[in-house]
Chains A and B, each alone.
Chain A
Amino acid sequence: MGFEETWHHLSLGFSVALSMQNLFWCFIGVLIGTAIGVLPGVGPTATMALLLPITYFLTPEGALIMLAGIYYGAQYGGSTTAILVNLPGEASSVVTALDGYQMARQGRAGPALAISAIGSFFAGTVATCAIVMAAPPLTRLAQQFAPADYFSLMVLGLVLAVVMASGSIVKAIGMVFLGMLLGLIGTDVNTGNTRFTFGISDLFDGIGFVIVAMGLFGMAEIIKNLGDNERRDLVSSKVSGLMPTREDFKRSWPPIVRGTFLGGLLGILPGGGGVLGSFASYALEKKISPTPEKFGKGEIEGVAGPESANNAAAQTSFIPMLTLGIPSNAVMAMMIGGMMIHGIVPGPQVMDQKPDLFWGMIVSMWIGNAMLVILNLPLIGIWVKMLLVPYRLLAIAILFFCCIGVYSLNNLWSEVLFMAMFGMLGFIFVRLDCEPAPLLLGYLLGPLMEVYMRRAMLLSRGDALVFFQRPLSLAFLIIAVIALAVVIFPNIRKAREEAFQE
């Protein structure tokens, strides 16, 4: 795209996005988004559904700007609870909770939250630029992916889940398998058969991610903390500064850049690439780091990279929706709904027929990110103060929010019960020193992997070689094997050394 054209688009976009009305709706959107991101359970999809009727009364631009603001606002909010109380509200915040929460326990919640916000803002800016300048070619790139390629990407994702683990590799592998099995509970879309449901209709659509995450992370953490007699309060007596130190910044900016590119690229894939962004970034940072064993104990790279990745992915996931009318996830499907309510049919013609809407929305995404940083940075002080509430009371509040959050999803009390079961299971995992993160990843990626495997086999008429014949697929599988080998061999050597020492 020529420089003049880009300039023209940008100025059009700014003129739309900077109108008083649209600025206002942008602000409302990110504000609501942050609020629901912080509240466990209620997610952006549910909120957008609630507000969809209200958007009737707005202009199309205002409506979409607000809805978009809710979406990436929720990303910021979700990281907040992940860091503060180990409650990831969205798939993308799971990874943030790993090191972010540990940083909070060491009294460094402030820097964690700050780097998270700053990294997200950088990622949002770069992603928005990418959309402005390269939306069509990026879309074409995404279109190159066939089911076989998606399958291999998922396999790579699963291997990354094992790589991410800081404890025993064998246990991590087992957790991944277990997670995948749990993810299979429900209706098998390809055949309509139900699996592992025992005839309970509430299980026909599987157990929701939020339920598993809140049980395994949130509830388990509460039980563990309440039982820990030696526990210091969540914030050790000296809270060291709210802002990141110069050292923090120096260590963070490379992961932020790397995470942005990883997440940005993976987010374009309509088939579910976005969810991989933060995991891939975490695995990458851990591999590159001179001190990989410190990951999982509060390394700031483990927050900076994934947070940037997931915000970049959130922004670029708009691309297939804007250019082709294909939603990458449930939130984008909502956005399409929002467009159609205003009589705008999403598809390739939106860019040409409604340029003010198209470019206005894209520019407002950047403005929304800016608003979020301005909103969230001062809030850090308030959040950290909240941590000073005695844990005996905080735990009760967290439990309540988890319960009502889960109930708010589908008004099904059975889901609250499932969460209780996962809470128990999560606590058992804590006692067994098994990490829940690989299980969650297996849970997310397993069913996806199966869908793509079957689709690829169907299209190739039963020829399994297709996974090796397509260059993209082969590349992913090779990377997966290498990553696995890099992780396993040192362990085998270590185990051998230990055996020799005995």
Chain B
Amino acid sequence: MRRRSFMALAGIALAAGAVPLAEATAADWPDKPVKVIVPYAPGGATDLLARPWGEALSKAFGQQFVIENRGGAGGMIGAEATYKAAPDGYTIVFTPNAVLSVLPQLRKTPYDPSKFEPIARTGDLVTGFVIHPSVGVKTFQEMLDYAKKNPGKLTYGSAGLGTATQLRIEALKMKTGVDILHVPYRGSADALNDLLPGTIQMMNEINVLPHVKAGKLILLNINHANRSPDFPNVPTLTELGIKDADVPIWYSVWGPPGFPKDIALKLNKKIIEIAKSDDMKKRMRDLNTEVPIQTPEELAAYLKTDTARNAEIIKAANIKLD
């Protein structure tokens, strides 16, 4: 008797296991490790931001959120991998906005950025234009005056063609009419190497901030809605009167097309909860990042405005690849 019912139960269990579940339901998600694709090499800026989040999410959900680095082609490879992954709720991508709102406007990408399923915002970089002391200017206005008097003399290093850091200088040039020479580098570390001895004079990245604190460079402004807590005396671009020249560099999490919306919402709520915690705030501050709160719908809308704004800059500055 017992044996037969046991066999029946076993049979049902086997049958249930053999039928693949189409997707997990939000209630029991996650019930196995989640893959977080980072479309850049380990140790890079995106990777460094993703790891505290991966750790925090693993703790919060009791399941491993595993970072998988798929670097290459400026972020395209990892984004493509996520785009083509199964929308079962177990693959997401942690990416800077450039991959979604800048790159697709410059080259043909194997993914449609508007089809990714929005999940949550995970951080905005808080930094601003820095200038080498050898130029002799100390404030943002002085820099603008100098640039207007000496067109083409100041040089600015970006992390590369088509990166958000290039867009920042192009936006500035567009809004203020100054002529600053843009020099593309291979990453922000490469640019910092030339900034320190004064070979180039300006940059806009987070890796320069320790040198500002050490007094080697001068921070002129903050490219963000709020001032940075580490530099309370440095004004934002908006305060300086230059509106809409801000090019935010922001990170977010997305799922492949068809990602279950209820799981996205669940993840979004948890991310917001973690972002409000003191521990996460401190870790983000160490990385010069602030985390704005948005729902998935707001995130999708934000991407649209970001894309439109970047399109304007790209057109005005005539940035072209291929």
Contacts and interface: CB of A to CB of B under 8 A. Distances in A.
A337 B210 contact: no
Contacts of A320: 193
Given A270-B193, A345-B210, A349-B214, A201 B42 contact: no
Nearest to A340: B48
Interface in A113-170: 143-144, 146-147
A115 to B, nearest CB: 34
Contacts of B214: 347-349
B41 A192 contact: no
Interface string A335-377: 1111011010111110000000000000000000000000000
A146 B199 contact: yes
Contact of B210 (A193, A194, A349): A349
Interface residues of A, number: 48
Interface string A202-225: 001100000000000000000000
Nearest to A269: B193
Contacts of A333: 41, 43-44, 189
A324 interface: yes
Contacts of A336: 43
B161 A190 contact: yes
B73 A337 contact: no
Interface in B276-302: 283, 286-287
Interface in B285-322: 286-287, 320-322
A347 B210 contact: yes
A349 B211 CA distance: 8
Interface string A162-204: 0000000000000000000000000101111110000001001
Interface in B205-226: 207, 209-211, 213-214, 216
A327 interface: yes
Contacts of B161: 189-192
Nearest to A321: B189
B67 interface: yes
Interface of B: 41-44, 47-48, 51, 55, 67, 69, 72-74, 76-77, 106-107, 110, 152, 155, 160-162, 181, 183-186, 189, 192-194, 196-197, 199-200, 207, 209-211, 213-214, 216, 283, 286-287, 320-322
22 contacts: A49-B41, A49-B69, A52-B43, A53-B51, A190-B161, A192-B322, A204-B76, A205-B73, A270-B193, A271-B193, A324-B211, A327-B189, A330-B41, A337-B44, A343-B283, A343-B286, A347-B213, A349-B210, A455-B183, A458-B183, A459-B155, A459-B199
In order of increasing CB-CB distance, the 5 nearest A-B pairs are A347-B210, A192-B321, A337-B43, A49-B42, A143-B197
